[in-house]
Amino acid sequence: MPALPPSGQYLVNIRQSCRNLRVASGILIEPETIKRLLISPAFTTSFERVSKDHGLLLPLKFASHLEELNFISILSLLNFASGFRVPLHTQTGRGAWDSIRALCFSLFITSTTEGDLLSAKGLQTLSTAKISELMRINLHVEKPHAKIPGVVVGELGGPLFELVTMIVDVLKETGEILEKSGYSNLGAFVVEALQEGKKVQNTSDDAAVEVILERLATAFPAFRDVYEIDRQPVYCFKKALFLVHAIHVRFGSMSPLPFPVPNTENIPVFSDNVLPSLLIHLGVINLPTNSPLSRLFPSAAPQQLDSLLGPAPPQVSKIPETVPKEGSVVTIEQSYILRAAAVDACELIVETAHGLDHSLLQEEDKRGISKLSLPDLDMWLWAVAKDRPDYRALERFVDQNSIYF
In DSSP notation, 263-294 reads --TTPPP---SHHHHHHHHTTSSB--TTSGGG
Is 2 part of any domain?
no
| CA 146 remoteness from chain centre | 42
Return the pLDDT at 318. Answer: 59
pLDDT single digits (tens) 130-156: 999 999 999 977 777 777 887 776 677
What is each CA distance from 276 to 153, 296, 334, 373, in whole angstroms?
Answer: 42, 12, 11, 18
Is 3 part of any domain?
no
Of residues 51 and 279, more confidently modeled: 279
Is 222 part of any domain?
yes
Return the pLDDT at 191. Answer: 98
Return the pLDDT at 98. Answer: 95
**Per-residue confidence band for 158, with pLDDT thresholds at 50, 70 and 90:** confident
**Per-residue confidence band for 59, with pLDDT thresholds at 50, 70 and 90:** very high
Question: Mean per-residue pLDDT for 65-78?
Answer: 98
Is 402 part of any domain?
no
Return the pLDDT at 153. Answer: 65
pLDDT single digits (tens) 187-200: 999 999 999 999 99
The amino acid that residue 150 corresponds to is G
DSSP 149: T
Q: What are phi and psi of 333, to 5 degrees?
A: -60, -45
> Does the pLDDT of residue 317 top 60, yes or no?
no
Is 397 part of any domain?
no
> Does the pLDDT of residue 322 top 60, yes or no?
yes
* Residue pair 121/132 in contact by the 8 Å Cβ criterion: no
Q: What percentage of residues in the chain have a pLDDT greater than 70?
A: 96
Choose among 14, 48, 76: nearest CA to 347. 14
Is 5 part of any domain?
no
Question: Mean per-residue pLDDT for 8-14?
Answer: 97
Mean pLDDT (the chain) is 93
The amino acid that residue 333 corresponds to is E
Q: Count structural domains, the chain.
A: 1
In DSSP notation, 332-401 reads HHHHHHHHHHHHHHHHHHHHHHHT--GGGS-HHHHHHHHT--HHHHHHHHHHHHHHSHHHHTS---B-TT
Q: Domain span at residue 273?
A: 10-392
> Does the pLDDT of residue 316 top 70, yes or no?
no
Return the pLDDT at 108. Answer: 98
Is 385 part of any domain?
yes
Is 73 part of any domain?
yes
What is each CA distance from 352 to 30, 33, 329, in whole angstroms?
Answer: 11, 11, 32
* 140-144 and 152-156 strand pairing: antiparallel
